[in-house]
Structure 1
Amino acid sequence: MKPVYVLLAGGLSSRFGDPKAFALWKNKPLYQWCKQALGGEALILSRPGLTDRFKSQGETAVLEDVEPFKGKGPLAGIYTAMEHQAGDIYIVLACDTPLIRNETISSLKKQIASGADAVVPVAGGRAQPLAAVYHKRVKQTICEQLRRDELKISDFLDRISVKYIDAEKIGAKNEEFVNVNKKSDLERLEAFYPE
């Protein structure tokens, strides 16, 4: 199965105050930690105002949401990736989860099985749909939901066949899924990733 790696980096970062993707942690932008976890190659889903900034960092595979779904959140980003690059499975990661390891992404990818539309890890008792694998067959479901302006990813997961898997069963630690919402969260990361 041909994988496509998708880095979601087009959020508004309203609680953070600045674009999270470019926030520095250990002298590296958050998005680069996540891109590294994806194996170093990824389609970066951006938004107007950030695209040029990514390109100035040397990124070439940068997309903005397709019309008419611009600014419609993570589902629009996933759909846009599916529209722009053919693949069998789409490995999706949000740009604010810098502790995720490449080994975790690889283990997750191996979990996609016939019949499952998605593999979503569960860490700390919570599903992690923005660090997950989606089969290409969900594209139409996403499109229909976006057309109805239903943007909740939880509603989408209710409409497809999801294989939920405990993070520990794929050798991942719960803290890998800690995401950065506020600037103070960058300090929290230190406890999990000491020098």
Structure 2
Amino acid sequence: MMNSENTCAAILAGGGSTRMGEDKGNLIVGGFTVEERIMEELGCLTSFVVLNKNKKSLFEIPTIPDVYEDAGPLGGLHAVIEARNEEWFIVSACDTPFIDRNVYQHLMRFICEGTQAVIPVYDGRFQPLSGIYHKSVSDELTALLQAGHRKVAKLLDNVNTYYVTDFNSLPKKTVENHFFNMNTPGDYELAQRMVKNQARSRHFP
């Protein structure tokens, strides 16, 4: 079963950030870069945290480039799983500054014998870049990429996937913030306001 010793957490940051216009992972939110914020939270789940990126990171973190160019998140997941020896892989996108370890721990509860992927479904949307994957998906990943496929959904269709739709045991705001992602400058401005509101609520409960 899954534990901190056989688990690697991966930040997928191989995209071009074209809509944002600059590297999303290097943007500052609440005094820290988005990459730093994600690294800190994932580090509470496992000591093995890596970054999938096609250029050098600003920080001391093992960085794994894509094997298949322009293959999107599917290519990033493939690169990490092929490069590492761990059995389980916790995934985060590079543009989700408010991820929460409790959401991942909730997902872990649904792992059972034969499970290859645990994927959250929030607000009616699949969230494969906030999922957990078993190393056994490696062969299917390679086959799909060699065939020219680029959609993570295709992988999920072809492996033993469990979809988690119930997050009622967690605070609603925690879950909502976990799945917030920044694609545009407007999203970045919203993230800045969210941080200010969080700080204000801590001081004035």
Give your verdict on TM over 0.5: yes
Match of 1:65 in 2: 66
Aligned residues: 187
Match of 2:202 in 1: none
* 1:45 to 2:46 alignment: no
Match of 2:7 in 1: 3
Match of 1:132 in 2: 131
Which residue type is aligned with residue 59 of structure 1?
Answer: E
1:9-158 aligned within 5 A: 9-39=13-43, 41-47=48-54, 50-51=55-56, 54=57, 57-66=58-67, 69-158=68-157
The percent of aligned pairs where both chains have the same amino acid is: 28
1:190, 1:168 → 2: CA distance? 25
Runs of 4+ in 1 over 6 A off after TM superposition: none
Which residue type is aligned with residue 61 of structure 1?
Answer: P
1:111, 1:169 → 2: CA distance? 14
2:36, 2:109 → 1: CA distance? 23
Of 167, 181, 184 in structure 2, the residue corresponding to residue 182 of structure 1 is 184
Q: 1:169 to 1:119 in 2, by over 3 A?
A: farther
SS state at 2:119 partner: strand
Which residue type is aligned with residue 52 of structure 2?
Answer: L
Which residue type is aligned with residue 142 of structure 2?
Answer: C
Give the TM-score of the pair, scaled to structure 1: 0.88
State whether residues 75 and 145 of structure 2, in contact with CA within 8 Å, keep that contact through their aligned partners in structure 1: yes
State whether residues 36 and 102 of structure 1, in contact with CA within 8 Å, keep that contact through their aligned partners in structure 2: no
Give the TM-score of the pair, scaled to structure 2: 0.84
Q: Is there any run of 5+ residues in structure 1 with no aligned partner, and where?
A: none
Match of 1:164 in 2: 163
2:59, 2:93 → 1: CA distance? 19
- Specify the structure having the higher radius of gyration (Cα): 2
1:136, 1:75 → 2: CA distance? 14
Q: Is there any run of 5+ residues in structure 2 with no aligned partner, and where?
A: 200-205
Which residue type is aligned with residue 112 of structure 2?
Answer: A
2:158, 2:30 → 1: CA distance? 39
User: For structure 1, which segment, 119-128 or 168-177, has the greater mean C-alpha deviation from structure 2 after superposition?
Assistant: 168-177
